[in-house]
Structure 1
Amino acid sequence: MKKILLTLTFALALNSVSAQTETVETKNSDFNKWSIELAGGFNKAQRPWTSGFRTDTPNFFVGDLGVRYMFNNQFGLKADFGCNTFEEKNGTNNFSTRYYRVDLQGVANLGRIMNFETWTNTIGLLGHAGFGVAQLEDQNSALTDKMANFIVGVTGQVKLTNRIALTADLTTILNAKQNANFDAALTGPGGGFEGILFNGTVGVTVYLGKNAKHADWVVLNDDRFSAIDARFMAIENKMLDSDKDGVADYLDEEANTPAGSLVDTKGKSIDKNNNGVADATEDFILKNYGSGNTSPLLSNNELITSLINGGYVATYYDFNQSTPTSDSTGNTDFILTYLRNNPSASVEITGHADEIGSSAYNDKLSKARATNVKSTLTAAGIAESRLTIVAAGEDTSVNKNSDAARKLVRKVTFRVK
């Protein structure tokens, strides 16, 4: 029994020391650390006794007052003062003694160490052990006996509020150098831890401090799984492929590639003949309008005109921007090349916006986008008379709540006249 008690004390002492070397995050956690503990109950003095002297089982009264400080949510220290009374059991010799003690103890929050929070938020368990001094006094004489003590115990907790908890404690006290029996009879110089006393108390703990919770009930890094989930969600979002071209959005430099288009590793449409039109788009037009189709055979120039008027050539914009994205400026170059090769042609430039924001603002933004493209073309030498702008305002054809869908309608399209 003594070996077990000493082992527990040694472990608590080590844990109390290690608590002072916890991480900065633990030390600075936002929780209360101080508490006051008040309890009362019964005792059982096991030994030493003089023959013919005994107390009732259990024997009343025990009183205990303690002040506790927690370094973190697992380890702390407490100083406490206790008083025990001993009086004769009916049918035994009369006596009346008092036992006073003061102890300094290490405290381990066993509830947190054993992860009670996985099944309860209101039940806790503390372990405590330490050393102190004590004095036994005879109420019928001037006899006093000073001694050292070792104390160890466990305290069950039930949280009522963030400020108050009920407690139930079982404690064992070992007295060293106890010269008098608990009945006040002198026995000569005491030896090692020969005196044994058991206390059982119930009480209340009052938590002090300005924070919402005390260390007894705080779970550090409780949001660690939420943070991990957020990281996984971020990875999943990055791996989305909105245009289904096989290239994840975060790597895709052309996020609106038509379905089925052949793209490079950056998500850009492949244009092997360098005519400014993605090969997949050209194949589609040739298949539906080219030789062998029931539609009349179209010349290359007519194919390009159909491509432009069908909305396959467009410039795209980031949210609330009137300057095209860097990966769609090539489509403005495509229109420039077409106008230079067809000097009699003119182009209607239509600006579009998504549904975010007021309709009036989106009308203004769509016009600004079309005007920006017109300015680029006139600066490149295209006569202003060949260019007209249209502010189409909001495009309501896509899901307003989908960011990927809104990207598809923040654009400028062209129509050859």
Structure 2
Amino acid sequence: MKKIMIALLFASALTSVNAQVKKEKNTKTEYNKWSIELAGGVNKPQRPMTSGYFTSLPSPYVVDFGGRYMFNNKFGLKADFGYNSFTGKNSSKDFDTKYYRANIQAVANLGRIMNFETWTNTIGILGHTGFGLAQLEDENSSVKDRMGNFMAGITGQIKLTNRIVLTGDFTTILNAKQDDNFDAASVNNGAGFSGILFNGTVGLTVYLGKNEKHADWVIDNGNEIDDLKKRIEDIETSMLDTDKDGVADYLDEEPNTISGVIVNTKGKSIDVNNNNIPDELESYLSKTYGKNSDKSPIVNDNDLVKNLVNNNYVCTYFDFGKSNPTNVSTEGIDFILTYLRNNPAASVDIIGHADEIGKSAYNDKLSNSRANNVKNILIKANIAPSRLNIIAAGEDTSVDKDSEGARKLVRRVTFKIK
């Protein structure tokens, strides 16, 4: 039977939390989309080259600079500029040419597409491809060969911080209508994509924006993972049993039951005669303090009762932002009323509390209102105002501010008998 009850409680909590998550599902992860990229490295012009002319393998220099914008965490667009230097090496005939280009490229975040986040948070891969314009110039002649180009490449990423990424890139460039060879020593026929150039670079990417993460590293899948994490946290919180009475806090109508006292399915201590004293505690008092000639329970042992009250076993609870007691927590007021009636010389401090949500000034005012409302209830029950002292304790910081279940425990009024 106990296992069935636990299963039902868990199912109920899951249903409640699931409804709450659906309401919050429209929340959107904010991330940076802009970045700037700078890289340098080596190249190798493959063709066209004049017989007897060639570069070393690989050949310096390459410089790339660009800016990138990501539409989401998988796809984006970048504009970049490149510079290549070609010179003859070893037994090659001397030449000195420069290659300049400007390109617009589509970018695909292959790391997110292939779910790299399942095994790493620091390694990524980008694919890029696009078209542009280029010009080949010869330092020793008037050659200025303008051409179109097509390029495609792969960029490896290693995240150093949320702002800086180390990159390594390999790119192939195909030149269209290249009229001169890369060495500028002879003429090419310029038909189709006759020019082939390989670039290899290492560089840095710097992310721009006010958010913590960039699109390259955000798992933006409709917040499914975040929603699942929150759902689990909410279930764990709702299944807490702060007073250890066997009833989860979200079902517990008496969240501060005295330890060891038997409770019903709503977490309330058993009180058959409705005198606001748990039957187990009443039985203990009767056995300990009862008289042989009088078997009725004696519940007015002042030291014991004052100890229970002053140690916050008797409380009145409030809903979030409310100053009127909840219907299920007025028993604490009844208990104090009974005590004051049976002890006409006694007085009591009524101490109001609030949780940490909201501004301190508001919580101070709220705690005062809660204490005053309890005082007014006792005054209407014919307790003299002079016996009731108000204390506004303000925020209670003794529990986890982020736990709704814990915050319920400090939205209360406690008492101190004097």
TM-score (norm 2): 0.61
Aligned partner of 1:316 in structure 2 is 315
Q: Given the superposition, is the C-alpha separation of residues 352 and 69 from structure 1 closer, same or farther in structure 2, using an over 3 Å criterion?
A: same
Segments of structure 1 that go 5 or more residues without pairing to the other structure are 1-22
Equivalent residues of 1:254, 1:327 under 8 A apart: yes
Q: Deviations over 1:113-153 (max 9, x none)?
A: 664897676x7654322222334456666666554322122
Equivalent residues of 1:109, 1:127 under 8 A apart: yes
Q: Deviations over 1:9-63 (max 9, x none)?
A: xxxxxxxxxxxxxx9935xx353614253x4443222123343333333334444
Q: Given the superposition, is the C-alpha separation of residues 50 and 316 from structure 1 closer, same or farther in structure 2, using an over 3 Å criterion?
A: closer
Separation (CA, whole Å) in 2 of partners of 1:366 and 1:87: 85
1:296 aligns with 2:321: no
Separation (CA, whole Å) in 1 of partners of 2:390 and 2:81: 83
Quote how far apart the aligned CAs of 1:298 are.
0.8
Equivalent residues of 1:48, 1:195 under 8 A apart: yes
Quote how far apart the aligned CAs of 1:296 are.
1.4
Match of 2:382 among 378, 385, 402: 378
AA aligned opposite 1:198: F
Q: Deviations over 1:223-246 (max 9, x none)?
A: 998886666555444434344433
TM-score (norm 1): 0.61
Equivalent residues of 2:33, 2:71 under 8 A apart: no
Larger Rg: 1
Equivalent residues of 1:370, 1:391 under 8 A apart: no
Aligned partner of 2:45 in structure 1 is 45
Q: Given the superposition, is the C-alpha separation of residues 265 and 65 from structure 1 closer, same or farther in structure 2, using an over 3 Å criterion?
A: closer
Aligned partner of 1:185 in structure 2 is 186
Quote how far apart the aligned CAs of 1:352 are.
4.1
Quote how far apart the aligned CAs of 1:175 are.
2.8
AA aligned opposite 1:25: K
Separation (CA, whole Å) in 2 of partners of 1:94 and 1:400: 79
Separation (CA, whole Å) in 1 of partners of 2:54 and 2:144: 19
Structure 1 residue matching 2:249: 3-state secondary structure? coil
Aligned 1:133-148 pairs, distance under 5 A:
133-136=133-136, 146-148=146-148
AA aligned opposite 1:33: W
Matched residue count: 362
Structure 1 residue matching 2:387: 3-state secondary structure? strand
Segments of structure 2 that go 5 or more residues without pairing to the other structure are 1-25, 355-364, 400-405
Aligned partner of 1:411 in structure 2 is 415
AA aligned opposite 1:389: R
Aligned 1:142-291 pairs, distance under 5 A:
146-155=146-155, 168-183=168-183, 184-188=185-189, 190-191=191-192, 193-202=193-202, 209=208, 211=210, 215=214, 219=218, 232=232, 234-272=234-272, 278-288=278-288
Structure 2 residue matching 1:54: 3-state secondary structure? coil
Structure 2 residue matching 1:250: 3-state secondary structure? helix
Separation (CA, whole Å) in 2 of partners of 1:322 and 1:144: 83
AA aligned opposite 1:251: L
AA aligned opposite 1:280: E
Q: Given the superposition, is the C-alpha separation of residues 309 and 388 from structure 1 closer, same or farther in structure 2, using an over 3 Å criterion?
A: farther
Q: Aligned-pair RMSD on alpha carbons? A: 5.5
Aligned partner of 1:389 in structure 2 is 387
AA aligned opposite 1:45: P
Separation (CA, whole Å) in 2 of partners of 1:337 and 1:205: 73
